[in-house]
């Protein structure tokens, strides 16, 4: 194998992935997300943050907040059921170099939105890191989580002590 072939192989092996970090409530998922986004920014990299508009700001709002219970927070784009995340990212990368996407409350993503995020990772070579609950309080899979569990390239469990029954 020539040097160029090895380099091409290494670059193709370094394709970005769709990640899903899941856990119970109060495990610190939002804090982990904000810490990772901070680390990217500290290195001079541009990140795009998303959170659910499912339970929050006015229906016409486009910017929300990711907040952790320990007081960390950052502005984030809001997604709702009708949001085409792929198109929003496509417009964003036309203007600037994007290094990573972080999605909080990923359990509220639709199946279509999870597939859009997978396409973002593949087409724009940008890692997409999703954080959310795996199941609802009755132990039932939630649409976004179920789809992420099925298609994410990398699954991670954030462990915590849970006395939630």
Per the annotation, the verdict on 105 as an active-site residue is yes
Indicate the DSSP class of residue 11. Answer: H
- Edge-first strand order for the sheet with 128-132 is 63-67, 73-79, 47-52, 100-103, 128-132, 18-22, 154-157
- CA 148, CA 72: separation in Å to the nearest integer? 25
| Helices 143-151 + 111-124 axis angle, to 10 | 40
Please state, as a whole number, how many other Cβ atoms lie within 10 Å of the Cβ of residue 41: 14
Q: How far is CA 157 from CA 4, 40, 82, 149, in A?
A: 38, 21, 28, 11
Cα maximum dimension of the chain: 58
Catalytic residue, chosen from 42, 105, 143, 157, is 105
Active-site residues, by number, are 105
């Amino acid at each position: 194998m020539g040097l160029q072939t090895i380099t091409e192989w290494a670059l193709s092996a370094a394709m970005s992935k769709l990640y899903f970090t899941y856990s119970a409530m109060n495990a610190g998922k939002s804090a982990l997300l904000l810490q990772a986004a901070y680390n990217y920014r500290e290195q001079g990299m541009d990140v795009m943050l998303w959170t659910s508009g499912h339970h929050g700001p006015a229906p016409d709002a486009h910017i929300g907040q990711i907040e952790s219970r320990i007081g960390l927070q950052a502005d984030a784009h809001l997604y709702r059921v009708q949001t085409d995340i792929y198109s929003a990212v496509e417009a964003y990368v036309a203007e600037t170099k994007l290094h990573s996407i972080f999605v909080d409350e990923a359990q509220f993503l639709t199946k279509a939105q999870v597939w859009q995020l997978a396409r973002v990772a593949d087409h724009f070579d940008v890692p997409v890191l999703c954080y959310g609950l795996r199941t609802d309080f009755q132990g039932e899979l939630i649409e976004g989580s179920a789809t992420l569990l099925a298609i994410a390239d990398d699954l991670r469990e954030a462990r915590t002590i849970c006395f939630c029954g």
